[in-house]
Each structure stands twice: as structure tokens, then as C-alpha cells.
Structure 1
């Protein structure tokens, strides 16, 4: 019997036009199974070429994508792409994760195709960014990344204005006009999706803009608002935090291009407001255990009521629900006072009547007749929290507390999220984090949470930290601090300097201008101490927008530090919220900066106030112009105050213990 001839390609896929690749691949996919097996290698090559050209050329991504994408998937992406170029990292991560989840596997615990969806999405190709720069003479800013930090910060407002005046190619405007007509008055979000975002090494979490557009005007007004949002995202490629982050992680020479992801906002209309029932971020690993029974490998979530902005950013005076997926019923708070205080008090919504984003007190939106309220809220009784098992129409809205307890404990939401994270981790070969929203559907009387997947990225391998045994004995006078709460794994050696913002002095500052300037002093110390080994220790929440809760700093102010430590003395604002899961925390992870919270008044905790408050302050010597702030900001030269010794911090998550102590080091 004569063997069948091998099917060969008559063209080079790397050089062929895309219409030829699509046509050939579709022909291969129509072959009967026995013949299709013989061309699988050709088909995979075409898929790789199209993936690299249209989605991402990150090899880690391509290696996973070629096992899951089919030609029909790529053709649909091509149909939804506006302009030339790749669709960028954020779009790529969402699409690949969705495809992975939809592929049925024998051991799938859920029908993921029915339980996980993605928003209606369109993509502006990254090459349109080049066209925009060329059309508006904006290439003059292309060398910003090589300027000093001071120049980058000073010139950014001018850059923003120049970008906001920019024109788009007519063909792009026309495509976006048709998109606006197709979407009608559905609220939109315009999200950055740069070529560097959400890749296998660096997340760029929160570095670039995402802009909500309520989309409630006339078609022309909606189009202009959409174009302004794209301009705003384009300008954010040159914002100081992004450029300094790229410099810090060795990506400053990369030719960053910005693609755009335009999505219909997931949610429902409730009167004049539009928002999702639940939004959040979930991680395949849980670095913070407030109980020893919590399993890190099961993952972690931060969830909120309304738009997810409050889940991924540190919002002053407000708290998401922190969920250990291994034990969703456990929470750090116990008493009614604690549960009420550390719950969500404000909700972000789209105000359809005013055509804008709005932040409202929860009682103005959540009430006893709100659909699904029994899964979201509990009732404040005299001295305890009562689950809401039945609707109570006359109940005052201000007695409702967002706990999400029944959603977490009486539906399959938590098992579903664990299964999603597990399946994605298996495909990616490492844990992932995802952003999502949730709507609660009903099948008869049974609640069925439907997850809307917005984003997926592999967690950085930087999150794997070394573990070391604690020393057998440390003299009491050599211990600088010891804590037993929310401890990660890791070791920080040979610490030469400690930058200490005194929590008590800071809390007594009446002038917001001084508090704002303290953040700038920290930024100047961060620059001056570059190349030295130092840690930051300060009050409450580092990175918060509320100056009364902590020091306002951004990534550009802290990227040289080895650790960022939050000191939580009891006071009017209580203890700080753990920052894990926020974009600010992701900055720390990607920069290999350890985050640690100290609770000096905990039983068993040690906080050596004499070391922090009585050691000589080197700030006036290092930064004479900042001497007026020496009362609030202390720079401790560890060698100088310890007779040549240095500071070491050992953190062990399994033992729930971290210790900082003075020790001798042999000269290297």
C-alpha cells in the first residue's frame, strides 16, 4: 500500500499575509480527524505566528497560548481589533485564561463554560499608538525615560496636556464611531493593555490608566469622551511611576507601546446607578495567615460591593472583605465593633443620570430590597452580627453591614474561585491572580454566582522567598522588633539604615501640608540612599491617599528600600488594613520589597522604642534642606548606633513570626 504523501506548506508562514494564514489554517481544521493529525504541526506553527503578530510575542505566553488557541479564536480577535499591532498584555491574559477555562477537562469540578464569562471587548492595536505620536509630533517626548526623576515629574503635566490635544487618524475615529453606535449607552471602561503589562515577569499593576466612561450622552458626545479616555491612557505611558518602575526592573530600554482594551462594564442597573454586585481580585497564593489553620496554597481574595476600584486600591477609611479561600468563614475581626469598622462603608458606582463615576455611602445604595442583599450583608444587632436569612423590608439601611458571609459560606462561590485558580495555575505552570466581577443568578431557589473574568496574569516568581531558622538566642537589648501577625517568608540582611516616620509625632501634625511634605522627604531619602541597604518604618498605611492614615508615597518614592513596614499603634483609626492584593502591594512584590505590619501592642510583640526614638538622627546631615522635618522623620545609621553592627530581619510565615535584631557580620 502506497503511503500517503506528507502535506507540506507551500509558503513561509513567517512572511505570509494574515489572510493566507487564516485561510490555510481553516482548511486544515476542516480536515477529518485522521488527516488533521498529520497537519497538526503546520496548524500550530500558523497559530504561533498569528499569536506573536496579533497578541503577544512574550515567549512564556506564546508557549501556553499555542496549546489552547484555535484559529476561530484568533479570527474573532482579529475581527475585534481596531488598527494595526498587538492587542497587549492585559487583553492577552484575559483571552487566554478564558479559553483555558472553557476547555472541558475530565476532572473539572464545574462547567466553567457556564459559570465564567468575559465582557464584550474590543482592542485598539499597539501600532495605533505610534500613529498617534507621529500625527501629533509627540515623539519629542520619547526620551523622557532617560531623564532624571525631577525632570520626569516636572514635565509630566505638560505631556498630559499635549496628549489630550492630540488627533487620531481618521480611519481609527471612524472605527470607534461605529463601536460607540454598536455599544449604545452601555457604560464602558477603557483599559491600558501595553506590551509589557501582565507578562510572565512584571505585572505593571496600576502603572497605567484605566478610565470609566458612563456613555450616557449623545453618540457624538460619547465618541469624544471615548477618544479622551484613549488619550488619557496613552499619556500615562510617560507617567513618573511607570517610567521609574521600568528603570528599576531593567526595562527602561524597551520600546513600550500601548494597546487599548475597550470593554462593556459588567454589572446591572439599580435605579440611576450602574455597578456589579461583587468585584474583586483573587490570588493563587495567600501570603497572610491570621490563623494557623489557613492554607496558603488555597489562595486569597479581596472583594467589594460595586465597582472593583475599591478592591485593587488602598482607599482611605474603607476596607474590602479579605477572604482566605481555605477557610472563608475565618476573618481577622471578631467583635461587632471590629467587624463593622473593618467593613466596606462606601461604594463606587456609575451615576447614569449625572454621566459620571460616583462614590456613595453604602446605605444609599444597599437596602433591604436590594436584589440578593441576603448574600451580601448581615444585620447589626445590639452586640452581634446577625445573618440576613430573610428579607426585612422595614429594616433601616444603616444597620446592614457588608460581610458577604452567606455568599462565601452558603453558595459555591468559594469552591468555584478555587477551581478557577487551580485550573489556570495548572495551565500556566505557576499561580495566577485574576480580577473579576460577580453577578448572582438563580436556578429555582438556588443562588448561582456567575464570574465575569476581567484580567489574568501569572504571579511573579519573586513571591517565592527564602526561609531561615531563627537564631537560638538574641539578647533582649539587640531586638529591634518582633511581630507574630501577617508574616511573609523572607530574610533581609545587612541593613545599614532605618528611615523611621514616628507614628505618634505624625499623628499629632495638624497641617496637611506638612504631612504631604513628609512623603516627599521619604522620596528624597529613597533617591539619596540608592545603593545602600535601608528599610522604611512608619505609621498606618504607606501609600494611602488619606494623609491622616499614613504617609502618602508612590512607587517612585520607595523603590530602593528593602522593606516597607507599617506600624499600627491603637488609635482613632485602629490598625491598618493588610495591603496584599492592592496595586501598591504589587509594586512591592515586583520590586522585591518585603511588606510587614507591626502591632506593637499585641501580646508577645516587641517594639524597641528606644532604638527608634533615641538613636541619633542623621537626616539633617544627609539632607540639610530637610532638617525642619527631623522631628517627624528619623534616619538611623545602624552602624553608628551599634558600634559597627548591622540589622537583620528574619520572617517565617509557617511560624507566624518575624524578628529584627542587631548582629555582627563578617566582612565579605
Structure 2
């Protein structure tokens, strides 16, 4: 035997295969794991005798391939952790073990019980086999015959070095037959014939009569199952449809099968979270799940956003308070399964980069390059065809591609605004519409690796969790008005209102954030614009008290889809209504006669001024009653506060609500009443104000303050203002110890704005470690705060336990005293940026106690030197 040949431990098998070679992956296709064991153990014993390093990858429930043996290194793996975690763990083990190691894997078929699809087994083999080959290993795998699809067998055949069919034929005695299907770079005249094991020797069957007889006998054993070459996923759904049809005819006789199948499908497609699964099994029928499957592209989970939307709708439809068919617009959605995301990464050859990105060293750095690559990949033909058929179904109706990751919209992790949603106006030829749709999918996929999302996962200890991205594709709710398409109104709703700006507002009544047109302006923190905030127990109560503020603090612009330009567009309320819309505007606002008079004086006839108030919507329709009821019945079922996104269209004055999203709401309640000290000296007070805060009641010590001086900041050009934002990010990362520091960050106008003239344009990842975030009004510089309750910005603050306050120093009763800060340590902390030491102040209070107190009930805030 030459030095590069290795034995299987069975001499006659070595002769058939011309031995094994370093780099060989050997896949045994068997009828049972017992047959695999018969040939794996001799390989192990031979390797041990020759002093080889043997590694056993143990992950299945079947009998152990290797008996307890101190010469074998066994890794106990848990495939329940998900494809990415499992595959990454295996990859890291192989990398750590190094060159020339021998491997035994459990039967890959057992992975079906946790991954539910051949696609993911194929992906695992596709990324693992070449890595083993590069390291000159020899590895044994097994799959159970007739349990898998043609596609999986084809992928294994195309990747492995040896594919061996092993039959065990039982008559009077047990007889093994071996049929080599692929043997890489080896050949003999009899190698690919059927071989029979007789008296310890594999003998090729060269007689045609004997070969035909044996093959026919082996084939006869496999007859009678039309499902044998279907993916496991498809087998389960064929069985589910059969049970459903039988249950319709035979009723209670099939109840146990219906319940068992419903649970199985729920775990395959909706969730494995025990808390959510309990709700799913209560509110979803087998028919519901079969309908979801009919709209599913690929395989895997539909993701958190899709599940939240579907669950909330089912909860509402079971309620008897209203005729929901009148008030609830049907959804018309498709789902792109989470397995498609990993398949996209694997088949484009990016898996190893994905593994490196999951390490501490590569977490942010490698993400940049991988994010760019994900915008340029290709999809498998079968997935492309399903995309095309879905687009044919929608025709030229506008659609939106929304993230629906596995971790999204769950209890404790909302991921609000972390991932992209992309509108497809969906105009043009089929080829053009497909190109736009595929681009949208890639944008959402790549957003898994954006810096804000990575920071969010890191702060919540989720950086090593599987984050598969499923997608929700929804028909956009709305109608055509001239060249524009949009819903008449949209918004977000909360079953619990933590922004009670008046003492007599009941937070349990919930609140809404409403806009005219697309809901993008309700969920995002929009510059120079003001959605309507509605406390559901006092809907006519406005957040501003003076009549002259009515126009200023109302919605100025509308987001719409421009059909002619095939794009989303922002247009002023005046210009849009000036198009003579086919809708009853009295529901949404009041005519602004003063502005209209001025428009006519200037000869402007294509604009019409309205102030968006929604007052008649609240007083003349059942909208408020319906929304309050929706929020409360979902909250009751969840046993937890919830928030929803919705769009609304009207038939006459009857609202038809399209529920787009639902998730558990991350809130901070009132807690205990906070007590404030009496007779604090004015020179000890840092901040004193009433209201204008978010984050519940708080009583905390502060040991550091970072302050961006409003007057100095306002004089900078935009380039320098962006530089200030990056420096804040540097301080957030390098100066703040999130485990020990409690930091108050104060700055002018709006944190996180995209317009530097309105505030400091930081990203969430650049302020993620602060404890209290304050926005300070500087009216002469046009830098004014905006309380953005209900937006993704607000959700970021709540979920990361950041308290928010807006400070208006020129308002009566408000104090803000930056002279209490003491010595500025900026030049010591960042000596290379001393040109900004008069703009950014860094203050340490290790020798003094800074107390920050806020009380939600009394709406008081006080920060002072104690």
C-alpha cells in the first residue's frame, strides 16, 4: 500500500475502493444506522491502531456510532441551537483540530427532526465537506435511504469524494451488498458494480442475470411510497393536507392527528419559543397553517414580524365585540422562509466569512465587506421561479418587502427599525419589476449586518444567536389618487402609554401616533414634522396647549408612492391635497383659511392648505373605540403590553384597518413614587423641568456627563458637525464602561437626526452606552428637541434602558445649569481632537454625587449635585 493510501479497516473494502485517500469524505447511504455502524467501527479501530487522531461528532438520538473509547475525542453537539450555531461550532472544531484528523459523524438524516428540510442538511454538507478536504482529513457520514429528496442526494454526490450505497438484504442470513456510486480519482473494471459480502470478502457481481435479479429484488422493497424522493418538508405538508381533508369528512375521528400535525407544523414554520407556541396552538388551526404554507417561498420559519401579524389578526377575528369583517382589511401576504437566507449565503460562497464575522475580532470589521457582497449575490433557479410567480400574482400592485427575522418582534427583543423595509412601487415590465424586487430582498438581507443591528444584538447578548432573516412581502394598503398611491392614514398603536403628558391621562388606555398617508412618518423620527399623538382615553387632548401652535405642530408632509416615477416620494400636504383627491378630507383635518388666502394672493392655485388634526375621525367614526379594543384584546391574550402598526382606508366613513405588525411592547412602568428633596440650592441644580421625558420613573446616580455645547455646535459647518457625531461615537465606545459608568449625554436639538442643522447626526450605535439622553433646546440656532414617542428611536431608548429628556431652558419653571459641570477632561480623554474641546465637554463626578430623579406620576425631573 502506497504511503498516501489509508485503510477502511476492512481489507476487502480497501480492494474495491483502492483504499481511502487523505481528503476523502465518505458518505454511506444505508437502510438503518446499524448498517452504518458495521462499517464505521472497523474504520475507527484501524485508525486507532495506526495512531491516528479520531474525532466523533455526536448530535443524533440514535445509538452511538462509537462505543466508549478513550482514544476517540467526542464532541457533543446540539442541532437544536439552529443551523448557523451548529454549523459554526462544527467549523470551529475542524479548524481547531487541524490537519490529518479522522472524523465520524452521526447520521445526517437525524438533523431532519430539528431542521425539517433537506435544504439545510445540504447546506451543512456543502460547507463542511470542502473544509475537511482542504485539511487532508478522512470523514465518514451516513444518510438513510429513501428519506431524502433528489436535490439533497444530488448536492451530496456533487460535493463528496465517495458515495457508497450499502444494502442489507435479509433472507436466511443477513447479507450486505455494496454499490459504489462515486469514487473520486480511482477506477477499476469492477469498481462500480454491485458487490456482495461473502465470507468476509466483497465479490463483484459480474453475471447480468444475477445482477438484474438482485437489483429488481432491492427495487421491489422500495415500491409503494410515492413520497420517497420528496423533501421531508413536503412530505409533512402532504400528510397535513391529507389529515385536514379527512378531518373535514370524518370529524372527531381525526382530532388527535389534527392536533399532533398542527403542533408539528407550528414548530417547523412559526416558532419554537414555548411562550409563543402556546398562543399559536390556541389561535391557529390546521387550515390556517396550510394556508400559510401555500404562501411560503422556500422553507423554514416565517419569522417574528410575520408571526406577530398573523397571530394578532387571528386573536382579533375570534373576538365577538365587533363585526371584524367590516372593520378589518384582509391581508394579502407572502413569506420568504428563513432557510432561503442561509442558502443565499452558502451558495454564493460567503459562509466562511460569515463564520469569521461571528467572532469577537471580526464582528464589526468583516461585517462591512460581507454586507456589500450580499447586495450582489444570485439566487438558485428554483427560488427565482417562486419569486417570479409571486410577482405575477401581485401584477403591478405596489408591495413592500419587510424584514421578519427569527429574533425580531419577540418578547424582549423588538429590533425596531434595525432592519430594512423596502417599498417596490412595482411598475414597468416583468423583467424590470423582478429586478427591483430582487434588489429589495438583497437590501433587507444585507441589513442583518448593519452597524446598528450588530450593536443592538451585542448589547442584548444575542451576538452568537442564529439570526436568520425571513421576509414578509405585503401588498401595500391604499388606493390610487391621480399618480399617487397611499393609504388614507396610518400609524402605530400602544396598549400602554408611557408618555402621559398630563396627570389625568390614563396610561392603561393606550395611545396612537397617526399620520396622513404612508406610515413611514409614524414609525420614523421625521425632521420638522409632527404626527398626531392620541391618548385613547382623551383623543381630543393635544400635546400642545396654545391655539397658535396647532398649525406648527401638525403634519406638514406626506409619504406616498409615485406611480409615474416608480418611487416613494415625500410631498407637502398642500401640494397633495391640491391635486383634488378623491377622499373626504374633513375626517383628517381642517381647512387653513388664512394660508389658503395667502396662496391665492400669490396666484398659487395647485395647492390647498389643511391642518391635519384627525378631530372628526375621533368624534364622528368608531375608530378610537375600535383601536382601543384591538389593543386591549391582544394585550389580554399576550398578558403583556403590545404595539402595532396599521394602515386605514375608508368606505364612506367606515374605517377598514389593515393590521400590518404586532409585537410585545418594551415599556417602563410607573414603579414606585420618586421622592424629591426640598430646598435644594439653585447652584447645585443641573436640570429641573416638568414633563417632556420618556422612560418611566427613575432614581439614579450619574458619574459622568458628556455635553455638546449648543452655541458652539450651531456655528460649525456640516462637515464638522458630522465629525462631532463620530467623536461622540468614539467616546461611547472607548470612554464609557457600560458595566460601571452611568452617563448623561446632553446636546442641542435632536440626537440621531439626519439633518445636522437640527441636531447631532449620531447613529444608535454611537449613543448605545449612555444612561440618560438629553436634548437641549437652543432656539436661536434652530436646534429644538422633539419627543418622538412611538418611533423606532423611542423603542431603541426603551429597549436599551436609556432614559430620554427634552430640556427647554427658556421655558418658565425649567432650569439648566452647565456651570455645575466643573473641569472639562475632553483633551485628556481624546488628546488628538483638542480643536473640539470648546464644543464637547467631558465631566467626571467620581468625587461628587450627581443624583437624577424623575417621577412619571408627578411628571417632575430633577438632576442635582448631592
Which of 341, 344, 348 lines up with 1:129 in the alignment? 341
> Contact conserved, 2:574 with 2:607, CA < 8 A, in 1?
yes
Deviation at 1:625, TM superposition (A): 1.9
CA separation in 2, counterparts of 1:396 and 1:258? 45
Deviations 1:68-108 (A, max 9, x none): 10111101001000001001000000000001100133xx2
CA separation in 2, counterparts of 1:368 and 1:352? 15
Is residue 2:809 matched to residue 1:600?
yes
CA separation in 1, counterparts of 2:620 and 2:731? 50
Deviations 1:600-653 (A, max 9, x none): 2222222123224xx2111111111222212111111123xxxx2221211111
> Contact conserved, 1:273 with 1:351, CA < 8 A, in 2?
yes
Deviation at 1:297, TM superposition (A): 0.9
Question: 1:501 — aligned with what?
Answer: 708
* Residues 651 and 27 (structure 1), Cα distance of their counterparts in 2 relative to 1, 3 Å cut: farther
Question: 1:647 — aligned with what?
Answer: 850
Deviations 1:486-525 (A, max 9, x none): 344222423110111122222232x001111111111111
SS in 2 for 1:217: coil
Name the Cα RMSD after superposition.
2.4
> Contact conserved, 1:467 with 1:651, CA < 8 A, in 2?
no
Deviations 1:153-180 (A, max 9, x none): 6655533431122110111100111111
Question: 1:389 — aligned with what?
Answer: none
Which of 192, 204, 221 lines up with 2:432 in the alignment? 221
Question: 1:264 — aligned with what?
Answer: 475
State how many pairs are aligned. 623
Question: 2:137 — aligned with what?
Answer: none
Is residue 2:862 matched to residue 1:662?
no
Question: 1:101 — aligned with what?
Answer: 316
Which of 444, 465, 477 lines up with 1:233 in the alignment? 444
Is residue 2:427 matched to residue 1:208?
no
Question: Which stretch of the first structure deviates more once superposed, 13-22 or 350-359?
Answer: 13-22
> Contact conserved, 1:544 with 1:551, CA < 8 A, in 2?
yes
Which of 845, 849, 866 lines up with 1:638 in the alignment? 845
> Contact conserved, 1:561 with 1:593, CA < 8 A, in 2?
yes
Deviation at 1:334, TM superposition (A): 3.7
Question: 2:265 — aligned with what?
Answer: 50
Is residue 2:722 matched to residue 1:516?
yes
Question: 1:23 — aligned with what?
Answer: 242
CA separation in 1, counterparts of 2:455 and 2:342? 22
Which of 770, 777, 785 lines up with 1:561 in the alignment? 770
CA separation in 1, counterparts of 2:487 and 2:827? 51
Is residue 2:413 matched to residue 1:413?
no
Deviation at 1:19, TM superposition (A): 2.7
Q: List aligned pairs for 1:426-505, cutoff 5 A.
A: 426-442=636-652, 447-460=653-666, 462-464=667-669, 466-476=671-681, 477-488=683-694, 489-505=696-712
> Contact conserved, 1:116 with 1:450, CA < 8 A, in 2?
yes
> Contact conserved, 2:758 with 2:783, CA < 8 A, in 1?
no
CA separation in 2, counterparts of 1:395 and 1:574? 33
SS in 2 for 1:203: coil
CA separation in 2, counterparts of 1:396 and 1:212? 28
CA separation in 1, counterparts of 2:785 and 2:289? 45
Question: Which stretch of the first structure deviates more once superposed, 51-60 or 194-203?
Answer: 51-60
Question: 1:628 — aligned with what?
Answer: 835
> Contact conserved, 1:98 with 1:118, CA < 8 A, in 2?
no
Please give the TM-score of this superposition, normalised by the length of structure 1: 0.89
CA separation in 2, counterparts of 1:144 and 1:626? 31
Question: 2:609 — aligned with what?
Answer: 399
CA separation in 2, counterparts of 1:536 and 1:467? 25
SS in 2 for 1:604: coil
Deviations 1:367-401 (A, max 9, x none): 3842111111212245999xxxxxxxx99744312
Is residue 2:788 matched to residue 1:582?
no
Q: List aligned pairs for 1:372-391, cutoff 5 A.
A: 372-382=584-594
Which of 535, 542, 560 lines up with 1:331 in the alignment? 542
CA separation in 1, counterparts of 2:606 and 2:614? 18
> Contact conserved, 1:562 with 1:594, CA < 8 A, in 2?
yes
Deviation at 1:28, TM superposition (A): 4.2
Question: 2:500 — aligned with what?
Answer: 289
SS in 2 for 1:600: coil
CA separation in 1, counterparts of 2:803 and 2:257? 46
> Contact conserved, 1:213 with 1:226, CA < 8 A, in 2?
yes
* Residues 486 and 122 (structure 1), Cα distance of their counterparts in 2 relative to 1, 3 Å cut: same
> Contact conserved, 1:98 with 1:117, CA < 8 A, in 2?
no
Q: List aligned pairs for 1:158-197, cutoff 5 A.
A: 158-197=369-408
Deviation at 1:576, TM superposition (A): 2.5
CA separation in 2, counterparts of 1:645 and 1:331? 41
* Residues 139 and 98 (structure 1), Cα distance of their counterparts in 2 relative to 1, 3 Å cut: same
Deviations 1:131-187 (A, max 9, x none): 111111121331324346xx7666555334311221101111001111111111001
> Contact conserved, 2:493 with 2:511, CA < 8 A, in 1?
yes
* Residues 333 and 384 (structure 1), Cα distance of their counterparts in 2 relative to 1, 3 Å cut: farther
Deviation at 1:542, TM superposition (A): 1.0
Whichever of the two has the greater Rg, that structure is: 2
Deviation at 1:590, TM superposition (A): 0.9
SS in 1 for 2:418: coil
* Residues 571 and 441 (structure 1), Cα distance of their counterparts in 2 relative to 1, 3 Å cut: farther
Question: 2:48 — aligned with what?
Answer: none
Question: 1:140 — aligned with what?
Answer: 352
Q: List aligned pairs for 1:343-382, cutoff 5 A.
A: 343-367=554-578, 369-370=580-581, 371-382=583-594
> Contact conserved, 1:189 with 1:210, CA < 8 A, in 2?
yes
Question: 1:535 — aligned with what?
Answer: 744
Deviation at 1:118, TM superposition (A): 4.2
CA separation in 1, counterparts of 2:330 and 2:723? 43
> Contact conserved, 1:367 with 1:373, CA < 8 A, in 2?
no
Deviation at 1:575, TM superposition (A): 4.2
* Residues 334 and 575 (structure 1), Cα distance of their counterparts in 2 relative to 1, 3 Å cut: farther
SS in 2 for 1:560: coil
Question: 1:551 — aligned with what?
Answer: 760
CA separation in 2, counterparts of 1:40 and 1:466? 47
> Contact conserved, 1:335 with 1:384, CA < 8 A, in 2?
no
